[in-house]
Amino acid sequence: MLSIFQRQKELGLKNEIIVEESDAVPIGPVHQDMIQALWAKFGDQKFGRKDFSPSVIPARALPNTCLLDVIKGEATNTYQYRVFGTEMRDVVGVNLSGKTILDFPKRSCRTYLMRLHDECTYQAKPLHSVARIKYPKGITMLTEKTFIPLFDDNQKTVNMILTVFTFDFSNRQKPGKDDVFTEPVSAYEQFRVFKSLNHLYTEANPTPQLHVI
How far from chain centre, in Å, is Cα 165? 6
Spell out a b/e string for 195-206, using b for 16 or more CB atoms within 10 Å of the CB, else e. eebbebbbbbee
Domain span at residue 49 reads 4-204
Instruction: Find, among 150, 149, 143, 11, the residue nearest to 88 by Cα.
Output: 143
Q: How far apart are the first and last CA of the chain?
A: 36
The pLDDT of residue 76 is 85
Structural domain count of the chain: 1
How far, CA to CA in Å, does 174 sit from each of 13, 25, 178?
A: 23, 24, 11
Mean pLDDT, rounded, for 70-81: 90
Q: Is 209 part of any domain? A: no
pLDDT (tens digit per residue) in 45-65: 999 988 888 899 999 999 999
Percent of the chain with pLDDT over 70: 83
Q: Is 211 part of any domain? A: no
Q: Is 212 part of any domain? A: no
Kindly report which listed range (41-55, 87-101, 133-147, 154-168) carries the lowest average pLDDT score.
133-147
pLDDT (tens digit per residue) in 87-103: 999 888 899 999 999 99
Kindly report which listed range (58-62, 100-104, 117-121, 172-176) carries the lowest average pLDDT score.
172-176
Is residue 46 a contact partner of residue 148, using CB atoms and an 8 Å limit?
Answer: no
Q: Is 21 part of any domain? A: yes
Is residue 143 a contact partner of residue 87, using CB atoms and an 8 Å limit?
Answer: no
Q: pTM to 2 decimals?
A: 0.85
For residues 153 and 163, which has the higher predicted lDDT (pLDDT)? 163
Kindly report which listed range (9-23, 81-95, 118-132, 146-160) carries the lowest average pLDDT score.
9-23
Mean pLDDT, rounded, for 159-172: 85
CATH of the domain at 37: 3.30.450.20
For residues 141 and 70, which has the higher predicted lDDT (pLDDT)? 70
Q: Is 36 part of any domain? A: yes
Instruction: Find, among 208, 47, 31, 17, the residue nearest to 127 by Cα.
Output: 31
Is residue 99 a contact partner of residue 80, using CB atoms and an 8 Å limit?
Answer: yes
Question: Residue 162 in 3-state DSSP?
Answer: strand
- Mean of all residue pLDDT scores within the chain: 83
In the 8-state DSSP scheme, what is residue 165? E
